[in-house]
Amino acid sequence: MTVDVNGIGSGQVNTRKSSTEQTQTPRQAQPAKPEQANAQTPRGENVSLSSQAKGLKQLEQKLNSYPETDDKRIEQIKSALADGSYKIDAEKLAQKMLEMDKSIFG
């Protein structure tokens, strides 16, 4: 199967000729006959997405609607760090670190 990506056909990729191709006789370097060239033309294909793929696409669109960072929360933490009121729960932090380790290494 031939795939045409952005109008680039298989004959357009790597058009630079090697030294052996450049030294071929004209008889060997003749282009393919028209009927052979047409046989390699890609046909239109249909693609259908599963319901799971559609659901993932909807989820992706929903996630993209949220901001990457919570600016309000960042400002709260910055001010708490600046005035010394930010408290770290060591047990909660340790538990989160263990969960992360378990998710990575099993």
Query: What pLDDT, in 10s, does the model give residues 93-102?
Result: 999 999 999 9
Q: State the CB neighbour count (10 A cutoff) for residue 10.
A: 11
pLDDT over 70 at 86, yes or no: yes
Q: Residue 44 domain-assigned?
A: no
Q: Residue 15 domain-assigned?
A: no
Alpha carbons 4 and 11: distance in angstroms, whole number: 10
Q: Residue 45 domain-assigned?
A: no
Structural domain boundaries enclosing 90: 51-105
- Please answer whether residues 63 and 55 qualify as being in contact, where contact means their C-beta atoms are separated by less than 8 angstroms: no
As for how many domains the chain has, the answer is 1
pLDDT mean over 3-17: 53
More reliable by pLDDT, 56 or 35: 56
- At 75, list the tokens: 């400002």
Alpha carbons 9 and 35: distance in angstroms, whole number: 17
Q: Residue 4 domain-assigned?
A: no
pLDDT over 80 at 32, yes or no: no
pLDDT mean over 12-40: 52
pLDDT mean over 27-41: 53
